[in-house]
Chains A and B, each alone.
Chain A
Amino acid sequence: GIQVEQSPPDLILQEGANSTLRCNFSDSVNNLQWFHQNPWGQLINLFYIPSGTKQNGRLSATTVATERYSLLYISSSQTTDSGVYFCAVIYNTDKLIFGTGTRLQVFP
C-alpha cells in the first residue's frame, strides 16, 4: 500500500519563527489534506490541496503531485499553533491514509 511519511517528526520553535513541514507519499494520489490536531483531539482542516499552492493567513501549502510531496509553511508562529500536524491522502479508494505526523511546540 501507499506510504505517507512526514518530517520532521518533532519541531520546537520560539514564537515568531517560521517553519516548513514536509509530506512525502509513495504513489499517485487523488486528494491531499493537511490537518492540525489540537490538544483535545479535534482535527482542524487546514488545506485541501491535491495540487498547486494555497494560502490562508500565516499558513500556506504547496503540493507537487508529480514529485509526490507536499509542504506546509507556517510563518510567524504563535503558541496556539502547537499541536500535531497531519497530512492525509486519498489514493485508489475513498479512505484517507494519514501520515506519521509532525508534533509542533511553540514557546513564548
Chain B
Amino acid sequence: ETGVTQSPTHLIKTRGQQVTLRCSSQSGHNTVSWYQQALGQGPQFIFQYYREEENGRGNFPPRFSGLQFPNYSSELNVNALELDDSALYLCASRIPGGGELFFGEGSRLTVL
C-alpha cells in the first residue's frame, strides 16, 4: 500500500478526444510526478509538480498538461488524443526533501 491512488483504472477514448486522469497522494507528499509507460517499455517522465507549480517536464508536447491541488490531489490532462497515447499512466509522490518515490496503480488508457 503506497498511499497513492489513481482513477479511473481503465478507460477507452477515441482519437481527438480529451482525457483527465486523477491522482490522490498521501498527506504531506507535496511533490507529485506523472509517468507514461507504453507497452513493453519502462515508464517515461512527463512532468512534476511542487506546491501546485510545474517544476520539471520531460519530452512531451503541450497537449499534456497538469494541475496540483492543495489537498494533495492532482490531474493529468491530455488533449487531442492520438493512438500513440495509449499507455499506462502512473502517478508518483514523495515527501519534501525525500528521495523515494511511491507510485499509484496506474490508469490504463486505450485510444481507438
Chain A residues close to B by CB (< 8 Å):
30-31, 33, 35, 40-43, 45, 48, 50, 86, 88, 90, 93-101
Q: Which residues of B are at the interface with A, using a C-beta cutoff of 8 A?
A: 2, 31, 33, 35, 37, 42-45, 48, 55-56, 58, 88, 90, 92, 99-103, 105-106, 108
* CB within 8 Å for A41 and B106 given contacts A94-B31, A95-B58: yes
8 Å CB contact of A31 from B33, B44, B99: B99
Q: Are A30 and B99 in contact (CB under 8 A)?
A: yes
Q: Is there an interface contact between A93 and B106, defined as CB atoms closer than 8 Å?
A: no
* Assembled-state Cα–Cα distance A100/B31 (Å): 25
**Docked-complex contact B42 and A41, CB < 8 angstroms:** no
Dominant SS at the B interface?
A: strand
Bound state CA distance, A31 and B101, in angstroms?
10
Task: Please name all residues of chain B whose beta carbon is closer than 8 Å to the beta carbon of A43 when the two chains form the complex.
Answer: 43, 90, 103
Assess A94 versus B56: contact at CB under 8 Å? Given A41-B108, A43-B90.
Answer: yes
**Chain A residue, CB-CB nearest to B101:** A96
Q: In the complex, what residues of B have CB within 8 A of residue A41's CB?
A: 37, 88, 90, 105-106, 108
Inter-subunit contact B106/A42 (CB<8 Å): yes
Query: Which residue of A30, A48, A93, A99 contacts B42 across the interface (Cβ within 8 Å)?
Result: A99
10 residue pairs A–B, Cβ–Cβ below 8 Å = A33-B100, A33-B101, A41-B106, A42-B105, A45-B100, A48-B100, A50-B99, A95-B33, A95-B48, A96-B35
